[in-house]
Amino acid sequence: MSTWVIGDVQGCAAELDELLALIRLDPAHDRVVFVGDLVNRGPDSAGVLRRVKALNARGVADSVLGNHDFFLIMAHAGFATPHAGDTLDQVLAADDADDLVAWLRARPLLIDVDDCAVVHAGVLPAWSLADARMLAREVERRLGGADYRAFLQHLFGNDPRTWHEALRDMPRARVIVNAFARLRFCTAESELEFAEKRDALAAPPGFAPWFAHPGRRSAGGKLLAGHWSSEGLRLWPNVTLLDSGCLWGGSLSARRLDDGAVFQVPSRQPLALIQD
């Protein structure tokens, strides 16, 4: 039995099929966790959702929610409009769109697997892993509740930018979602920075990559994330970053947690400047 964590797919269904064949996924014994951003900007977001949803129904796979997954959920609910370059219309126009998005909306923000935690973007310095689990469950309950549309309607936005335990209701939820789904740079006091999307060397003054703060409270645990395609594949003792830029002509990566081995397939997408 092997446990795999796979990086951002973003609609690259052909590469996902090739990677699952490369790792010789055995649905009877193996488990796969995706770091989120299953959809958008790639050629076949609907296909990726159907594949992962089918594996999830068999108890083989699951995925955390990424920022592009949230955007699809918002667009389906009528609270966001796809931008130029987005490829969500294919999902929104599909006969099974309601089922696909309902399944996606039920995905968690954090998954514990073996002795690791999987998130999409990162964990704020102020949060221990126990805090992160608790906060993830707060948002998951709202996403799965009967009033989820009212929740989604006010979810998007950059403010507040700093986590405080005293935050309540939508300001609290907004920081939690932005941290799990969009985090790259932050301060030691857990203030998020949203504008800079280049690699860790481009940290704005006063900010650092979320994983680089020596006092972050989650430092004793093992974390796997994606989201940061400009940073690429990174394999540190307690932090693994798995977005190796498949969408932008890089590769799609999987890490086997049993022994740390990494497997990759090359992208079929044209080489392009990495964006968000």
- Reported as a single tens digit per residue, the pLDDT across 67-97 is 999 999 999 999 999 999 999 999 999 999 9
Mean pLDDT over 136-154 rounds to 97
**DSSP tag of 212:** G
Yes or no: say if 136 and 109 are a contact pair by the CB < 8 Å rule. Answer: yes
Strand-by-strand arrangement of the 208-209 sheet: 192-193, 185-186, 208-209
pLDDT band for position 59 (cuts 50, 70, 90): very high
pLDDT band for position 1 (cuts 50, 70, 90): confident
Rounded Cα distance between 24 and 213, Å, is 37
Task: Give residue for tokens 């923000």.
Answer: 109
pLDDT band for position 176 (cuts 50, 70, 90): very high
Closest CA to 107 of 56, 175, 50: 56
- What sign for the dihedral angle of Cα 235, 241, 247, 253? positive
pLDDT at 275: 73
Mean pLDDT over 93-103 rounds to 98
Question: How far is it between the farthest Cα atoms of the chain?
Answer: 50
Token pair for 264: 């990759």
Torsion (CA) 35, 38, 41, 46 in degrees, nearest 10? 170
Domains of the chain plus CATH, in order, are 3-266 (3.60.21.10)
Rounded Cα distance between 167 and 191, Å, is 14
Burial of 102 (0-12, 13-18, 19+ CB in 10 A): middle
Q: pLDDT by residue (tens digit) across 237-253? A: 999 999 999 999 999 99
pLDDT at 254: 98
**Averaged pLDDT score across all residues of the chain:** 97
Closest CA to 7 of 266, 274, 252: 252
pLDDT band for position 154 (cuts 50, 70, 90): very high
pLDDT at 245: 97
Q: What value does the CA radius of gyration of the chain take, rounded to a whole number of Å? A: 17
Q: pLDDT by residue (tens digit) across 40-57? A: 999 999 999 999 999 999
Rounded Cα distance between 116 and 118, Å, is 7
Residue 274: pLDDT above 80?
no
**What is the share, in percent, of the chain residues with pLDDT greater than 70?**
99
Residue 260: pLDDT above 90?
yes
Per DSSP bridges, beta strands 251-256 and 262-266 are antiparallel
pLDDT band for position 191 (cuts 50, 70, 90): very high
